[in-house]
A = this chain, B = another copy of it.
Amino acid sequence: MTGVGFLGYAFMGRAHAHALRRLQSTGDDPPRLVAVTGRDAGATRAFAEAFGFARWATDWRDVVADPDVEVFENLGPNAVHAAPTIAAARAGKHVLCEKPMGVDASEARAMLDAARTAGVVHMCGFNYRFLPAVRRACEIIGAGDLGDVLHFRATYRQGWGADPGRAGAWRFDAAQAGAGALGDLMSHVVDLGRHLAGEFETVAGEITTFVPGRSVDDAAAAVVRFAGGATGVLEATRFATGEMNRFTWEVNGTRGTLAFDLERLDELWVNGRRELVMPEGWWPAGHGLAWEHSFVFELEHFLAAVAGGTAVAPHGATFADGVRAAEVCEAIARSAAEGRRIATTGP
């Protein structure tokens, strides 16, 4: 009956709240929705009532200070990731922070330091690691069935970049978001690259802003080398006209090939064969999973770690993984600015 507090009630707030409510009816240790904080009192209150949070507040310090809150989830814009999350960790709360962590790698490192010092469980919200097809891919690679990984290619294509009204305005403001497609989409690409193909060694990238005057990037791309010898091609854009949420990736190994498309997320293509992946205890295969279910699996995993049953890593992303994603993204941006390959080996 772990008590959970939220910062944020918008896109990610809804996704996490639905996931926790689902876990209330399926998990051994159903979570309690204790408190939520947001800047807009009316919206925060409505959200709390809809999902059954016991309390709500407009000052995040109230949630951080709440003794019933054991887990603090930071689901707000990137600019409000660092301070509340650090405060929560210092208050002894276990912490989950949405990706990308903070507005830059420096903030991410500060959050990691705080969590480590406090000794709390920490997770960075790279939810795609928890999709059953991705988990199955990890198992296949981990078992050696793909041989040595040679190539990782991934492209995250969205098409709404010319239509800022579709997403929160904060996403186009460097002060609020830190970066554009680089932080929002490329961070997912980088994290799955590390998860599936191993640590990055070098990157050579390009960053583009198509809309004059926009303070964040619209698209980012890189060719990379992994420490294990693989090479990779990464791309993230908000200007793939007509595309919705098309995150595709492929892994070529010496013994086989995996392929995935987020818009058909039940499906893992294993050596040219379509497998419909469905976890135990859900539905018969072919009855479908959705994007929102990634959060159910993510939070189930995180709450188990909080309860002491399992570690967040290596299956889930810790704050250390959040730091690495931010570092690689920054290396891509620096490579683009300086016109040269950048080394970015992890710890």
Residue of A159, A224, A288 with most chain B CB atoms under a 10 A cut-off: A288
In the complex, whether A285 has a CB less than 8 A from a CB of chain B is yes
Q: Are A223 and B204 in contact (CB under 8 A)?
A: yes
In the complex, whether A341 has a CB less than 8 A from a CB of chain B is yes
In the complex, whether A22 has a CB less than 8 A from a CB of chain B is yes
Interface 9-residue window, one of A77-85, A107-115, A192-200, A242-250? A242-250
A339-B256 Cα distance, complex, nearest whole Å:
30
Instruction: Give the interface residue-count category, chain A.
Output: 35 or more
* A225 neighbours in B (Cβ, 8 Å): 206
* Choice from B231, B244, B339 contacting A341 with Cβ under 8 Å: B339
User: In the assembly, how many copies of this chain are there?
Assistant: 4
Interface residues of A, dominant DSSP: mixed
* Choice from B153, B283, B292, B335 contacting A287 with Cβ under 8 Å: B292
A204-B335 Cα distance, complex, nearest whole Å:
10
Q: A22-B21, A153-B155, A341-B339 given as contacts; is B288 within 8 A of A265 (CB)?
A: yes
What is the distance, in angstroms, from A255's C-beta to the closest C-beta of chain B? 7
* Choice from B205, B208, B244, B253 contacting A284 with Cβ under 8 Å: B244
Chain A positions within 8 Å of B, measured between CB atoms, are: 15, 17-18, 21-22, 24-26, 50-52, 147, 150-151, 153, 155, 157-160, 162, 166-167, 202, 204-206, 208, 210, 219, 221-225, 229, 231-233, 235, 237, 239-246, 250, 252-257, 262-266, 271-276, 283-293, 335, 339-341
